[in-house]
Chains A and B, each alone.
Chain A
């Protein structure tokens, strides 16, 4: 079986995969990083979003082989090493942007990329459009949009420090 080497949340792993193995399967099943979820089989829900080399990607849409050599960040690697939550995680909690929590890892990963790639600011409409690829059945999105808007200044303030 072919092998791939991935750096996930700062740690390097080499794993054997089949040609058809998806990146999300490697994360969940081989590396026991079960924070990344699978909510569909058609690349529609975004529960599986991770960052590959800094960009948000649906990990159910990538073969593990395609990610060989990549630097991957999953929800487990978002908080600081001492457990301090990332401002996006903090704002999700503050604004009650999660209920069952199943969509949440993908939402947070998408949201972080969205905010990072829009340093000048994000309108409500841009946030809603930016969440195009992520489904949430619980919250009605209202509080997710609020949380992302609230995280924007915090993240860019942190970045500017």
Chain B
């Protein structure tokens, strides 16, 4: 057995069960006496509901009950709450229209839940739902941002004028306008950040269970944060006190943000289980995932940079429209503001920045955080803008970045958009990135590709993001209705093995392994004697879950604090047992020693004494060795780095082949390099997907066109290249581990690198910019349109 502490690529504990079919995902759970729910959803984007005739469905074979929005409203069931309140520029609060779990009066997007049929089998519930007669009167719908803000547009919610949820801004517009007025160059770019559908491979599932003897409810759900769901659903929707509600999120098959939010189906099955006094299970079909999981991105922006003659950035001015969809999902308002506009300084010294964001309701599925959340949008905008600046001014794109970088000796660095970066070294990640990607040899590769009739291009992005979410007081002042600390309990058992109870949640990240590695390093307990428990509100203390690359930086820090408490208490016990002063006790590698002597006790000796306190300082010290710590981060963490993409385009078809991808990221202290590489590779694949393939499409009327894997192009093995992934780390200065987080960097840094490469490949075709995704059809049209002109020249 080799070293299994911090820094080792330990193979994962969870793999054996996943590899042998023994995972325990929510859909693998069946409760005794369980019934099945089928949710009838709106098949149209916007309509009045005149009435719902449930008689035939209720009488169908196997059906136990049918519920509609009216049934829930009659019991005063609350709407699905939003977890973040933004304010308009004038100080007034954002529009926060009601979001009933089952539609009341109107449906507002294709997929909006209208009724639920509960039956003995899944098929019976589904068959009966066909018999529901819903009297719809169609209303005009707005399916995209531009239509929604047009004069005279149909309104998604009565009383929300112009479909504007909020009109928010950061920065001093007059100052920025002044800088633009005096600038040598102004470069402007209009761009779209395409709408995505997260598509974790496990569809969402929810099982509501009601214990008729205790009156307790249990919800089994595919969630990234069971306590958040318990709080939102218990307190705001179903009015079940938290002591009567347990939420279990067992093995979860990927999340990427989409399983953070409290969804209507969770409330529906829990409430229905109480009504029918039996467990009720709902499993999403993939088609339902497409029209009910929160979508991601969907911005339309105009960006302008003011520069001096040498290419120094003087000021940045941005206007963004951000799609909220039909209702506010849990964290939606924060994504295009505090997770986006505050990142617009990027890795650059731009002294003044102004950004105005209008969040807009449309008749589409709610939009919320998807891997990176706001930060990919900021990075894409900046890194495309810089390449366009290079295009328009003739300045070198690498030099332009270099000369505007925040230097490594400038940290802590206060940006003009609220954040204070604690550490980073952008010149180094750039230098290593250029070297690993063979940037200098690229022109030879381009020439060689041309000899094969291919257009080869290279693109770069240098980025920073904010994660390790988040200092509670800061987010509270920005409108969060939650604290974002994390918690850990370290239970040292009498025989010295350890169980970690963490408030974070693993849905692919490998916490059972990495968090155990922390215990190996801090307490010297062997890896196979450490168990990590997460995902069950009946077992773990109140934690906030996993998103925003927070598990290690925040949750791991809570563990370190709790282990420090274990060590401190252990020293007192050791001092008593070895008749020494506490100050003289040292702890290292599982052993307490009296300094300067050969007297020692193992952690097991100490834990046994703590639970069998016969010879124990019982007057001063409680028995037991079980410590809990809450950790509230002092700041965000700031991973960053350099991503370089190399593509080849076939001019005959327009099809892009990703030939190389190089990532050099700064993620702070790495606990398990193998897992970090995997996280980056997965994130990059999603970024490549966004840049080249994925696009959520609604037609003008609001019908979802990309509603299955046949229409929504997911990256497959053949679409993704082998990747060169490396780290060049500087330590986070304000948490005990120095870790920054690595879950999102791949999806944040990669899309602009890919599009910059595509544009570079097409440089002879007069392309200044193109919007994602760079599909073969789109590029073929561009090439075709430019070819006659080129031939004529």
Asked whether B253 lies within 8 Å of A102 as measured between CB atoms, the reply is: yes
Given A38-B27, A93-B16, A101-B18, verify A142-B286 contact (CB < 8 Å). Answer: no
A150 located at the interface, meaning its Cβ lies under 8 Å from any Cβ of chain B in the complex: no
A44 located at the interface, meaning its Cβ lies under 8 Å from any Cβ of chain B in the complex: yes
Among the 9-residue stretches B384-392, B586-594, B678-686, the one with 4 or more Cβ atoms under 8 Å from chain A is B678-686
Asked whether B720 lies within 8 Å of A37 as measured between CB atoms, the reply is: no
Nearest chain A residue, comparing its CB with the CB of B711: A42
Residue A96 contacts which of B12, B251, B715 (CB distance < 8 angstroms)? B12
A132 located at the interface, meaning its Cβ lies under 8 Å from any Cβ of chain B in the complex: yes
Task: Count chain B residues whose beta carbon lies closer than 8 angstroms to a beta carbon of A.
Answer: 56
Give the distance in Å from the alpha carbon of A116 to the alpha carbon of B663 in the complex. Answer: 34
> Which residues from 655 to 683 on chain B have a C-beta closer than 8 Å to any C-beta of chain A?
674-675, 677-679, 681-683
Give the distance in Å from the alpha carbon of A41 to the alpha carbon of B284 in the complex. Answer: 10
Among the 9-residue stretches B105-113, B199-207, B294-302, B395-403, the one with 4 or more Cβ atoms under 8 Å from chain A is B199-207
Give the distance in Å from the alpha carbon of A92 to the alpha carbon of B718 in the complex. Answer: 19
Given A93-B11, A140-B681, verify A74-B202 contact (CB < 8 Å). Answer: no
Residue B508 contacts which of A34, A44, A138, A144 (CB distance < 8 angstroms)? A138
Give the distance in Å from the alpha carbon of A108 to the alpha carbon of B18 in the complex. Answer: 11
B723 located at the interface, meaning its Cβ lies under 8 Å from any Cβ of chain A in the complex: yes
Asked whether B201 lies within 8 Å of A42 as measured between CB atoms, the reply is: no
Asked whether B21 lies within 8 Å of A100 as measured between CB atoms, the reply is: no
Given A20-B123, A100-B252, A129-B718, verify A141-B21 contact (CB < 8 Å). Answer: no
Asked whether A39 lies within 8 Å of B21 as measured between CB atoms, the reply is: no
Q: Given the complex, which residues of A lie within 8 Å of B746, measured CB to CB? A: 140
A85 located at the interface, meaning its Cβ lies under 8 Å from any Cβ of chain B in the complex: yes
Give the distance in Å from the alpha carbon of A103 to the alpha carbon of B718 in the complex. Answer: 16
Asked whether B18 lies within 8 Å of A135 as measured between CB atoms, the reply is: no
Give the distance in Å from the alpha carbon of A93 to the alpha carbon of B16 in the complex. Answer: 8
Interface string of B4-32 (1 = CB under 8 A from A): 00000001101111111111010110000
B722 located at the interface, meaning its Cβ lies under 8 Å from any Cβ of chain A in the complex: yes
Nearest chain B residue, comparing its CB with the CB of A102: B253
Asked whether A143 lies within 8 Å of B709 as measured between CB atoms, the reply is: no
Given A100-B252, A102-B201, A139-B678, verify A89-B508 contact (CB < 8 Å). Answer: no
Q: Given the complex, which residues of B lie within 8 Å of A6, measured CB to CB? A: none
B528 located at the interface, meaning its Cβ lies under 8 Å from any Cβ of chain A in the complex: no
Q: Given the complex, which residues of B lie within 8 Å of A101, measured CB to CB? A: 14-15, 17-19, 23, 251, 253, 508
Q: Given the complex, which residues of B lie within 8 Å of A41, measured CB to CB? A: 285-287, 708
B210 located at the interface, meaning its Cβ lies under 8 Å from any Cβ of chain A in the complex: no
Residue B286 contacts which of A40, A75, A139 (CB distance < 8 angstroms)? A40
- B672 CB to closest chain A CB, in angstroms? 9
Nearest chain B residue, comparing its CB with the CB of A92: B19
B507 located at the interface, meaning its Cβ lies under 8 Å from any Cβ of chain A in the complex: yes
Asked whether A42 lies within 8 Å of B202 as measured between CB atoms, the reply is: no
Asked whether A140 lies within 8 Å of B723 as measured between CB atoms, the reply is: yes
Asked whether A139 lies within 8 Å of B682 as measured between CB atoms, the reply is: yes
Q: Given the complex, which residues of B lie within 8 Å of A131, measured CB to CB? A: 716-718
Asked whether A105 lies within 8 Å of B21 as measured between CB atoms, the reply is: yes
A68 located at the interface, meaning its Cβ lies under 8 Å from any Cβ of chain B in the complex: no
Asked whether A75 lies within 8 Å of B21 as measured between CB atoms, the reply is: yes
Nearest chain A residue, comparing its CB with the CB of B283: A38
Asked whether B20 lies within 8 Å of A35 as measured between CB atoms, the reply is: yes
Asked whether A42 lies within 8 Å of B21 as measured between CB atoms, the reply is: no
- Looking at A42, A83, A108, A134, the one whose CB has the most chain B CB atoms below 10 A away is A42
Nearest chain A residue, comparing its CB with the CB of B684: A140
Nearest chain A residue, comparing its CB with the CB of B708: A42
Give the distance in Å from the alpha carbon of A58 to the alpha carbon of B723 in the complex. Answer: 29
Asked whether A39 lies within 8 Å of B720 as measured between CB atoms, the reply is: no
Q: Given the complex, which residues of B lie within 8 Å of A83, measured CB to CB? A: 20
B366 located at the interface, meaning its Cβ lies under 8 Å from any Cβ of chain A in the complex: no
Asked whether A98 lies within 8 Å of B710 as measured between CB atoms, the reply is: no
Give the distance in Å from the alpha carbon of A79 to the alpha carbon of B722 in the complex. Answer: 29
Given A33-B21, A45-B201, A99-B682, verify A140-B716 contact (CB < 8 Å). Answer: no
Residue B709 contacts which of A44, A79, A105, A138 (CB distance < 8 angstroms)? A44
Q: Given the complex, which residues of B lie within 8 Å of A34, measured CB to CB? A: 21, 25, 27-28
B256 located at the interface, meaning its Cβ lies under 8 Å from any Cβ of chain A in the complex: yes
Asked whether B21 lies within 8 Å of A36 as measured between CB atoms, the reply is: yes
Nearest chain A residue, comparing its CB with the CB of B18: A101
A115 located at the interface, meaning its Cβ lies under 8 Å from any Cβ of chain B in the complex: no
> Which residues from 51 to 100 on chain A have a C-beta closer than 8 Å to any C-beta of chain B?
74-76, 78-79, 83, 85, 89, 92-94, 96, 98-100
Interface string of B412-441 (1 = CB under 8 A from A): 000000000000000000000000000000
Asked whether A18 lies within 8 Å of B123 as measured between CB atoms, the reply is: yes
Interface string of B714-743 (1 = CB under 8 A from A): 111110101100000000000000000000
Give the distance in Å from the alpha carbon of A23 to the alpha carbon of B15 in the complex. Answer: 26
Q: Given the complex, which residues of A lie within 8 Å of B476, measured CB to CB? A: none
A155 located at the interface, meaning its Cβ lies under 8 Å from any Cβ of chain B in the complex: no
Give the distance in Å from the alpha carbon of A137 to the alpha carbon of B251 in the complex. Answer: 16
Asked whether B21 lies within 8 Å of A76 as measured between CB atoms, the reply is: yes
Q: Given the complex, which residues of B lie within 8 Å of A4, measured CB to CB? A: none
Interface string of B272-306 (1 = CB under 8 A from A): 00000000000001110000000000000000000
Asked whether A132 lies within 8 Å of B717 as measured between CB atoms, the reply is: yes
Give the distance in Å from the alpha carbon of A104 to the alpha carbon of B15 in the complex. Answer: 10
Given A98-B18, A140-B684, verify A135-B716 contact (CB < 8 Å). Answer: yes
Give the distance in Å from the alpha carbon of A33 to the alpha carbon of B27 in the complex. Answer: 12
- A51 CB to closest chain B CB, in angstroms? 13
Asked whether B201 lies within 8 Å of A136 as measured between CB atoms, the reply is: yes
Residue A137 contacts which of B17, B18, B674, B686 (CB distance < 8 angstroms)? B686
Residue B717 contacts which of A28, A78, A141 (CB distance < 8 angstroms)? A141
Q: Given the complex, which residues of A lie within 8 Å of B17, measured CB to CB? A: 101
A127 located at the interface, meaning its Cβ lies under 8 Å from any Cβ of chain B in the complex: yes
Give the distance in Å from the alpha carbon of A45 to the alpha carbon of B25 in the complex. Answer: 17
Asked whether A35 lies within 8 Å of B203 as measured between CB atoms, the reply is: no
Give the distance in Å from the alpha carbon of A103 to the alpha carbon of B19 in the complex. Answer: 10
- B200 CB to closest chain A CB, in angstroms? 6
Interface string of B698-711 (1 = CB under 8 A from A): 00000000001110
Give the distance in Å from the alpha carbon of A24 to the alpha carbon of B18 in the complex. Answer: 18
B471 located at the interface, meaning its Cβ lies under 8 Å from any Cβ of chain A in the complex: no
B510 located at the interface, meaning its Cβ lies under 8 Å from any Cβ of chain A in the complex: yes
Q: Given the complex, which residues of B lie within 8 Å of A139, measured CB to CB? A: 678, 681-682, 685
Nearest chain B residue, comparing its CB with the CB of A29: B30
Nearest chain B residue, comparing its CB with the CB of A36: B21
Asked whether B286 lies within 8 Å of A42 as measured between CB atoms, the reply is: yes
Asked whether B21 lies within 8 Å of A74 as measured between CB atoms, the reply is: yes
Asked whether B254 lies within 8 Å of A134 as measured between CB atoms, the reply is: no
B509 located at the interface, meaning its Cβ lies under 8 Å from any Cβ of chain A in the complex: yes
- Looking at A34, A104, A105, A141, the one whose CB has the most chain B CB atoms below 10 A away is A141
Q: Given the complex, which residues of A lie within 8 Å of B685, measured CB to CB? A: 139-142
Asked whether B720 lies within 8 Å of A141 as measured between CB atoms, the reply is: yes
Q: Given the complex, which residues of B lie within 8 Å of A40, measured CB to CB? A: 286, 708-709
Between-chain CB contacts (< 8 Å), 5 pairs = A34-B27, A38-B27, A93-B16, A102-B202, A102-B254
- Nearest 9 CB-CB pairings of A with B: A35-B21, A102-B253, A101-B18, A140-B685, A100-B508, A44-B709, A99-B508, A75-B21, A34-B28
Beyond A38-B27, A42-B286, A138-B201, 6 extra complex contacts between A and B, CB < 8 Å: A40-B286, A75-B21, A96-B674, A136-B201, A140-B682, A141-B716
